[in-house]
Amino acid sequence: MTTSNYHVAVVGATGAVGQQMLKTLEERNFPIGKLTLLSSKRSAGKEITFKGETYIVQEATPESFEGVHVALFSAGGSVSKALAPEAVKRGAIVVDNTSAFRMDADVPLVVPEVNEEDLRNHNGIIANPNCSTIQMVVALEPIRKQYGLTKVVVSTYQAVSGAGLEAIEEMKSQTQSILNEEEFTPEILPVGGDKKHYQIAFNAVPQIDLFQENGYTFEEMKMINETKKIMHMESLEVAATCVRLPIETGHSESVYIETEKSGATVEELKGLLQTAPGVTLQDDPANQVYPMAADCVGKEDVFVGRIRRDLDRDNGYHMWVVSDNLIKGAAWNSVQIAESLVKLQLLS
Amino acid sequence: MTTSNYHVAVVGATGAVGQQMLKTLEERNFPIGKLTLLSSKRSAGKEITFKGETYIVQEATPESFEGVHVALFSAGGSVSKALAPEAVKRGAIVVDNTSAFRMDADVPLVVPEVNEEDLRNHNGIIANPNCSTIQMVVALEPIRKQYGLTKVVVSTYQAVSGAGLEAIEEMKSQTQSILNEEEFTPEILPVGGDKKHYQIAFNAVPQIDLFQENGYTFEEMKMINETKKIMHMESLEVAATCVRLPIETGHSESVYIETEKSGATVEELKGLLQTAPGVTLQDDPANQVYPMAADCVGKEDVFVGRIRRDLDRDNGYHMWVVSDNLIKGAAWNSVQIAESLVKLQLLS
């Protein structure tokens, strides 16, 4: 097989993440021989341009995956549950960006900077973690490797684009209504499928995804469970509070950690992160240099700054972790998994 | 002395907090015999209406405090440093909303729900804590009393009104510029007096106040040091990450705590907070009930919700604490201190 004849399918091609996937495939010049763009029935028929060529989006069916080498899914959990096994049956490897299979024991959950080798154990489906998990583990892994890790407490500052294009539109139109002192009715956020909807403009909403029995949201449980799985640390203490904010793109995270070995200096942690794969260190308080959501948009890296020692515990540290939730948090991590599959010669 | 003849001075009467102080004094029907409104030279001459009467704001000078019983200061640290001692010299009790005297050993730092009795030890000046500290200690004190407290890790979601009226205007005009796809130049936030200014609209900025040598901002150190002082717990572990967000009013806080005694249930904590002074419990995940910045505006209470057990530690809990930063975070806590002075017969 030459390096330019993979048949790639993108499922959910018209969505916020799907569009970013296509942009990333184009920018990375992924070796595509044939491209199939799929969607729900509702979006089928739309036209999308890729590398100057026009494609018509087709309704995804089991037969759509005949001859496909790798299928990138981002069309919601129910689509993945129905069609990912069909794609695998037809010989495709599925990289699934939904939460449908993430915690399945036989499905690798992969962030290439952390656990690329887990790809070797795939059984057809590979799961792409939740956006807020991905950026955190990229920042934590270099520290874990050197000093070990025992505890993580994270509070997130999440953008609305994680909830889709409709959520972005809702935020913008609500914001304009408030500036104009006009009435409005929240209809989508915090969670499209939940009972109540709340104002997102000029507000902070401590709910992302549905609530579970234990009082945590599903988004929070995703961060907790996925972090343990990706880092292979079942006993790692992880706690999360996930909050939606009036930001279009770019998730930020306030992360408190405790390391196994005590006494690493801030300079040592900065040194580790400066050379870590996928990380850009932005940490110079004297010159007001720190990561911000508005600066990360359109970039692949995870930006880390505000690294400082806890004032009480010798093994405690605080940091601020920012990344484009549609890129490293979704599209780029999925394409990166596809690239790793090529590199590890797992795609054929 | 009858209950209606205190001579009250408000210093910084034209600012965001000063205006809220006047509103609160009016709403609470504080026993005012005479009202003196003071400001910087720049704002002197402005007219302000209080209880239907028009007052002309005067430039604050040492002589302005002759005959004043209680002076509420909120005109910046340098004004307080220069004039609070002059007010005290003339017999006034100063309630200072700046950080000028908060950590002075002979100045009580008071949140009436927590340490009202500290007022008895005043030497003329009483400090009003930082907005983000106040709402947190109101939520923590009922828990500390019953179960003890060993560790607090807080990440804040702070509104721009804490940075004054100009910051609100900057956020609104920037927001409109972005919606219109027009250029803009940040000029005020994150900190008026710092070297660089950043976009606040649709962004999360992890800097409030200036950076200290240890990598923490002054705002973060305020939360850390003030919490220990108000709660009389020098050994309490406190860590803070303070973040400015595009929200006009209402600070939110993601708070992780460890208690001294283990095993309290979430229901027990809810029970404590339900009857705690100054607290409104809003905690019913099944019905999507939790506090939000947009809902707290104009209200005196501290709103607490999303209380849940840490999944790893028996003495760990997470909660979400929201309050109007101009009211309980500033104006109402100051007026409340004045009310406590009356109640404790310390004002004469």
Please, how many CA atoms are within 13 Å of residue A153, restricted to the half-sphere of its CB? 28
- Scanning every residue of chain B, which has its alpha carbon at the shortest distance from the alpha carbon of A297? B203
- For residue A51, which amino acid is it? K
A 10 A CB-CB count for B308 gives 21
Interatomic CA distance for residues A210 and A226, integer angstroms? 17
- Inter-residue contact A248 to A168 (CB < 8 Å): yes
Residue A14 lies in a domain: yes
Residue B268 lies in a domain: yes
> How many angstroms separate the CA of residue B26 from the nearest CA in chain A?
26
Are residue B87 and residue B30 in the same domain, yes or no?
Answer: yes
Q: Does A172 contact chain B (CB < 8 Å)?
A: yes
CA torsion, points B302, B49, B28, B323, in degrees to nearest 10? 0
- Inter-residue contact B71 to B95 (CB < 8 Å): yes
C-alpha A246, offset from chain centre: 18
Q: What percent of chain B has pLDDT over 90?
A: 98
CB spacing of A206 vs B252 below 8 angstroms: yes
Catalytic positions of B: 131, 251
Q: Which residues of A touch B172 (CB under 8 A)?
A: 179
Residue A96 lies in a domain: yes
Query: Which among A245, A318, A322 has the least Cβ separation from residue B241?
Result: A318
Q: Is B325 annotated as a binding residue?
A: yes
Interatomic CA distance for residues B226 and B229, integer angstroms? 5
pLDDT confidence band for B157 (50 / 70 / 90): very high
Inter-CA distances, A53 with A59, A60, B1, B136, B277, Å: 19, 20, 87, 57, 66
CB spacing of A243 vs B237 below 8 angstroms: no
- Scanning every residue of chain B, which has its alpha carbon at the shortest distance from the alpha carbon of A171? B202
CB spacing of B246 vs A246 below 8 angstroms: yes
Are residue A140 and residue A124 in the same domain, yes or no?
Answer: no
Are residue B120 and residue B198 in the same domain, yes or no?
Answer: no
Interatomic CA distance for residues A227 and A326, integer angstroms? 19
pLDDT at B313 over 60: yes
Residue A1 lies in a domain: no
Residue A348 lies in a domain: no
Are residue B104 and residue B225 in the same domain, yes or no?
Answer: no
pLDDT confidence band for B348 (50 / 70 / 90): confident
Interatomic CA distance for residues A240 and B125, integer angstroms? 41
3-class DSSP assignment, residue B14: coil
- Scanning every residue of chain B, which has its alpha carbon at the shortest distance from the alpha carbon of A190? B288
Q: Is B313 annotated as a binding residue?
A: no
Best of A181, A191, A199, A241 to disrupt the B interface (most B CBs within 10 Å) is A241
Walk across the sheet containing B237-241 and list its strands.
B237-241, B151-157, B251-258, B316-323, B302-309, B279-281
Query: Which among B172, B176, B203 has the least Cβ separation from residue A294?
Result: B203
CATH of the domain at A138: 3.30.360.10
Residue B348 lies in a domain: no
Query: Which among B157, B215, B254 has the least Cβ separation from residue A308?
Result: B215
Burial of B265 (0-12, 13-18, 19+ CB in 10 A): exposed
Are residue A180 and residue A227 in the same domain, yes or no?
Answer: yes
Range of the structural domain that residue A89 is part of: 6-129+330-343
Are residue B38 and residue B158 in the same domain, yes or no?
Answer: no
Are residue A230 and residue A118 in the same domain, yes or no?
Answer: no
- Inter-residue contact B44 to B106 (CB < 8 Å): no
> How many angstroms separate the CA of residue A272 from the nearest CA in chain B?
18
Q: Does B256 contact chain A (CB < 8 Å)?
A: yes
Residue B119 lies in a domain: yes
Query: Which among A202, A238, A241 has the least Cβ separation from residue B294?
Result: A202
pLDDT at B316 over 50: yes
Residues forming beta bridges with residue B257, ordered by sequence position? B152, B317
Q: Which residues of A touch B211 (CB under 8 A)?
A: 285-286, 288
Burial of B183 (0-12, 13-18, 19+ CB in 10 A): exposed
Whether residue A318 lies in the annotated active site: no
pLDDT at A1: 46
- Inter-residue contact B340 to B334 (CB < 8 Å): no
Q: Which residues of A touch B241 (CB under 8 A)?
A: 155, 254, 306, 318, 320
Interatomic CA distance for residues B22 and B335, integer angstroms? 9
pLDDT confidence band for B5 (50 / 70 / 90): confident
Interatomic CA distance for residues B102 and B87, integer angstroms? 17
- Inter-residue contact B248 to B159 (CB < 8 Å): yes
Q: Which residues of A touch B198 (CB under 8 A)?
A: 288, 292, 294
This model of the complex carries an ipTM of 0.96
Are residue B117 and residue B219 in the same domain, yes or no?
Answer: no
- Scanning every residue of chain A, which has its alpha carbon at the shortest distance from the alpha carbon of B236? A312
Best of A132, A155, A174, A209 to disrupt the B interface (most B CBs within 10 Å) is A155
Q: Which residues of A touch B311 (CB under 8 A)?
A: 214, 216, 224, 237-239
Are residue A96 and residue A157 in the same domain, yes or no?
Answer: no
| Run of H or E residues at B241 | strand B237-241
Are residue A148 and residue A100 in the same domain, yes or no?
Answer: no
> How many angstroms separate the CA of residue B68 from the nearest CA in chain A?
40
Are residue A198 and residue A98 in the same domain, yes or no?
Answer: no
3-class DSSP assignment, residue A325: coil
- Scanning every residue of chain A, which has its alpha carbon at the shortest distance from the alpha carbon of B321? A206
- Scanning every residue of chain A, which has its alpha carbon at the shortest distance from the alpha carbon of B319? A241
- Inter-residue contact A120 to A93 (CB < 8 Å): no
Whether residue A7 lies in the annotated active site: no
Q: What's the total number of domains in chain B?
A: 2
Q: Is A42 annotated as a binding residue?
A: yes
Mark which residues 176-235 of A lie under 8 Å from B by CB: 176, 179, 190, 194-196, 198-199, 202-207, 211, 214-216, 224
Are residue B313 and residue B173 in the same domain, yes or no?
Answer: yes
Residue B53 lies in a domain: yes
Q: Is A43 annotated as a binding residue?
A: yes
Give the residue carrying structure tokens 């091609």.
A13
pLDDT at B3 over 60: no
Residues forming beta bridges with residue A304, ordered by sequence position? A281, A321
Interatomic CA distance for residues B168 and B174, integer angstroms? 10
Full DSSP string of B118-145: GGGG-SSEEEPPPHHHHHHHHHHHHHHH
Token pair for B348? 């004469």
> How many angstroms separate the CA of residue A181 from the nearest CA in chain B?
12
CATH of the domain at B111: 3.40.50.720
- Scanning every residue of chain A, which has its alpha carbon at the shortest distance from the alpha carbon of B297? A203
Per-residue pLDDT for chain A (348 aa), expressed as one digit of tens each? 455 689 999 999 999 899 999 999 999 999 999 999 999 999 999 999 999 999 999 999 999 999 999 999 999 999 999 999 999 999 999 999 999 999 999 999 999 999 999 999 999 999 999 999 999 999 999 999 999 999 999 999 999 999 999 999 999 999 999 999 999 999 999 999 999 999 999 999 999 999 999 999 999 999 999 999 999 999 999 999 999 999 999 999 999 999 999 999 999 999 999 999 999 999 999 999 999 999 999 999 999 999 999 999 999 999 999 999 999 999 999 999 999 999 999 997
Q: What are phi and psi of A204, to 5 degrees?
A: -125, 120
Best of B214, B245, B309 to disrupt the A interface (most A CBs within 10 Å) is B245
Interatomic CA distance for residues B74 and A145, integer angstroms? 49
Quick: pLDDT tens for B185-235: 999 999 999 999 999 999 999 999 999 999 999 999 999 999 999 999 999
Interatomic CA distance for residues A62 and A91, integer angstroms? 12
Q: What is the mean pLDDT of chain B?
A: 97
> How many angstroms separate the CA of residue A310 from the nearest CA in chain B?
7
A 10 A CB-CB count for A32 gives 17
Query: Which among B199, B247, B250 has the least Cβ separation from residue A294?
Result: B199
C-alpha A180, offset from chain centre: 34
Mark which residues 290-309 of B lie under 8 Å from A by CB: 290-294, 305-309
